Amino acid sequence: MTMPPDAPSSPHPSPPPPLIVLRRVHKQFDNGLQALSDVSLAVEPDEFVALLGPSGCGKSTVLRLAAGLEAASSGEVQAPALLPERASETAFVFQEPTLMPWASAFDNVWLPLRLQGLSRAQAAASVRKVLASVGLAEFEAAYPAALSGGMKMRASIARALVTRPRVLLMDEPFAALDDITRQKLNTDLLQWWHGRAMAALFVTHSVTEAVFLSQRVLVMAARPGRVVAEVLVKQPYPRSAEFRDSSAFVEACRAVAAALVDAHAAQPATAATAGHAGHAAHGPPQSAAQCPPAAGRR
């Protein structure tokens, strides 16, 4: 392809901007509760970031801000969900599968495409493809009552993936599942995510799940909710189940667990703890604060 004469070709094209940016975000609910204080984070287009922290520290609130379901009290939030013309780029997977009980697996997965105006026939190929990718090809006619917990969650994820989202927000999606099913879904989730150039922000209470899935684990403390540590997980993708047996995995889990202990111990005061000496945990990430304002993206 030839470049137009006036287009400068750069040997180092700048990387695409993050898809999700929270910059110095505060969130106070109407009842006066200060849920988030000075939260800054960014998620790149092909990044998998986990959010971990004590109950009530504001993890779901962060997801809801990124999904445009809540507004920040102050600070800046940038995400496709906040732009009407790009709202469909975001998919949200809740802790409960939230399937329509009166509709088949096919019809549940068709729903978001139906809302975009696609008929059953127009959507059929996409729905069947995504159902097959989550291992539910044989179950398209089954109603939720006839699916196991893990199968319901697969259907819920299929419904999220069918629109080919660029942002995948997941709020403890596997919390209700047994360990083996959860590990299998973790492996499968990475396969679905990998190569799709999706920004994934994944909330969990599980240290091992956070480390297995993500490139970065952000640890939050409560009252008010704030990010107090960041642990990098440098293992490249694809990651197989063997990663769980590696020393790199154990090390990263130790670092996250130590940061989590600090987060639980953190007093509801001004100074946040900044990770454990000797571990790979760092203080609150600076990346979002350092991000240039994404001009023209709002």
What are the residues binding Mg ion (CB under 5 A)? 60
For residues 37 to 66, the per-residue mask of contacts with ligand ATP, x marking binding by CB under 6 A and - elsewhere, is ----------------x-xxxxxxx-----
**Residue ranges of E strands in the chain:** 20-28, 34-43, 48-52, 74-78, 90-93, 167-171, 199-203, 216-221, 226-232, 281-282
Nearest approach in angstroms of CB 53 to ligand ATP is 6
CB 224 to ligand ATP: min, Å: 8
Which of 21, 35, 211, 231 contacts ligand ATP by CB under 6 A?
Answer: 35
Q: By C-beta, is 86 or 223 nearer to ligand ATP?
A: 223
Give the nearest distance from C-beta 75 to ligand ATP in angstroms: 16
Within 192-251, the residues that bind ligand ATP by CB under 6 A are 225
8 Å CB contact between 228 and 266: yes
* H or E, element range at 132: helix 120-133
Smallest gap from residue 34 Cβ to ligand ATP (A): 8
Name the binder of 18 from Mg ion, ligand ATP, none, CB < 5-8 A by kind. Answer: none
Report the C-alpha dihedral over residues 259, 175, 189, 184, rounded to 10 degrees: 100
Q: At 33, list the tokens.
A: 């509760």
- The sign of the torsion formed by the CA atoms of 183, 184, 185, 187 equals positive
Cα gap 193→198, rounded to integer Å: 6
Residue 57 binds which entry of ligand ATP, Mg ion, none, CB below 5-8 Å type-dependent: ligand ATP
**Which C-beta is closer to Mg ion: that of 108 or that of 204?**
204
Nearest to 160 by CA among 92, 98, 68: 92
Q: Binding residues for ligand ATP, per CB under 6 A? A: 29, 31, 33, 35, 53, 55-61, 225
